[in-house]
Amino acid sequence: MRFCVVGAGFSGAILARHLSDKGHSVLLIDERTHVAGNCHTERDDKTGVMLHSYGPHIFHTADDRAWAYVQRFGTFRPYVNRVKAISQKKLYTLPVNLLTINQFFGKTLSPAEARAFIASKADSSITHPKNFEEQALSMIGSELYEAFFYGYTKKQWGLDPTELPASILKRLPVRFNYDDNYFNHPYQGIPEDGYTAIVENILRSDSIELRLGVKFESLTETFDHVFYTGPIDRFFQFRLGRLGYRTLDFERIDVDGDYQGAAVINYCDGDTPFTRISEHKYFAPWESSQFKASVAFREYSRLAGEGDIPYYPIRLVNEKKTLESYIALARETPNVSFLGRLGTYRYLDMDVTITEALNACDEIDQKLKEEAVIPTFFVDPT
Ligand code: FAD
Ligand code: UDP
């Protein structure tokens, strides 16, 4: 059979490799001039530092299958994401942990004392938090919320935290010990040669034809089936409206020596216009000392307009309604499947993206064996 896979990020690459391993002919296209989608990394011409071109990417997972899969295609070096945060001109560590609590309140509390102290600050009248703000107030109380979350979240999402779902905050732990690892997952790392090398290795297969710099809209060939990992609203020429995304602007800072001495510093105050600064050599601690110069990026978030790169799906009530209309349209469209973060309009970490793509491969095999129709969606995007 002849398949087209649109998008050479993790979703598209995994699918293309699997279909070619099964003996099918695959055309993989991407409108960008590189593979790896938003996970793309490249060596900076000026400093030699490995840049995460579309923002910092740390691989973290609890999923054995995803972890085993990526390691087939390259070496992952141990990396622990330790984020610093500036609030009201003072520096702290995130996620909120015992050091954050003790420094912020000027105390020397033990774990048990800190737990009781934060419980006394938390708003216990909120039993079922309905939004981001209520979630924060019920977990950590108003002082920590205002210092670390209120301003940052308004900048990141362009909305008041009362308008955002509680689930966004649930991504972050609160700890009553000195563990400042940003993630709770057992596996965490960054590929030694960058993510693009991993995806290039996934794509090392003779029966994949890779065409870069090619938009799906410009193709004239026909295929037995298309796997589309681009934005679902774009596939239908935005005919039911646009799904809202936040986009990011990066402002480059070049310095001799070090800029900030850490990979990521968040700027939590609302009156600082950017959300965070990333200094990319620190994402590769095994080689960071060899660079004389350094490069960092200020990150600004804004509503994505036409032509901007879609980064974070907003997914509020209006967007969800529009998404449902596109899902209905997609289900009536034969021989196309939608997957990945843009195809299903969901915020997906890399590990979830990989797991979903591998599950899709299993399902496709089964359907082809039964000579049945390949599903339009492999997960429910609502
Ligand atoms: P993408 O990587 O977006 O790939 C889709 C590809 O399709 C793109 O290359 C695009 O050019 C192409 N395309 C789209 N439409 C068309 C078309 N019509 N024609 C041709 N080509 C098209 N995850 C983590 O696990 N850890 C992190 O630390 C992390 N940090 C992140 C930081 C930021 C700022 C962002 C935005 C995301 C982060 N992620 C992180 C999530 C990660 O980027 C995604 O999980 C991953 O990129 C999803 O892969 P994908 O293949 O579904 O989509
Ligand atoms: N957040 C915040 N202050 C911070 C870090 C995060 O308010 O210093 C909020 C913000 O709303 C963000 C959410 O917590 O969108 C989830 O944080 P995470 O670090 O997971 O964001 P991402 O990696 O998606 O940028």
Mean pLDDT of 145-158: 98
> Could you confirm whether domain 2-77+192-241+316-370 is CATH 3.90.1150.10?
no
Active-site residues: which are they?
A: 171, 175, 246, 276, 299, 347, 349
47 contacts 295 by C-beta, under 8 angstroms:
yes
Of 164-178, 199-213, 358-372, the range with the lowest mean pLDDT is 164-178
| Ligand 1: centre distance to CA 37 (Å) | 5
| Ligand 1: centre distance to CA 341 (Å) | 7
- Which helix (H) or strand (E) segment holds residue 361: the answer is helix 350-370
pLDDT tens digit sequence for 267-289: 999 999 999 999 999 999 999 99
pLDDT tens digit sequence for 330-363: 999 999 999 999 999 999 999 999 999 999 999 9
Is residue 177 over pLDDT 90?
Answer: yes
Would you state the pLDDT for residue 171? Answer: 82
Is residue 221 over pLDDT 90?
Answer: yes
Whether the CB of 153 sits within 6 Å of ligand 2: yes
Is residue 69 over pLDDT 90?
Answer: yes
Would you state the pLDDT for residue 170? Answer: 85
pLDDT tens digit sequence for 316-327: 988 999 999 999
DSSP 68-132: HHHHTTSPEEE----EEEEETTEEEEES--HHHHHHHHT----HHHHHHHHHHHS-TT-SS--SH
Pocket test for ligand 2, best of 135, 172, 184, 314 (most atoms within 8 A of CB): 172
Give the amino acid at 251: E
Mean pLDDT of 29-38: 98
Residue with tokens 């993790």: 10
Whether the CB of 171 sits within 6 Å of ligand 2: yes
CB atoms within 10 A of CB 181: 16
Kindly report the average pLDDT of the chain as a whole number: 97
Q: Are strands 225-228 and 2-6 parallel, antiparallel or unpaired?
A: parallel
Where are the chain's structural domains? 2-77+192-241+316-370, 83-170
Residue nearest to atom 14 of ligand 1 (CA): 230
Would you state the pLDDT for residue 333? Answer: 98
Instruction: Point out the ligand nearest to the CA of residue 100.
Output: 2
Return the half-sphere exposure (C-beta side, CA atoms, 13 A cut-off) of residue 314.
24
182 contacts 149 by C-beta, under 8 angstroms:
no
Would you state the pLDDT for residue 317? Answer: 85
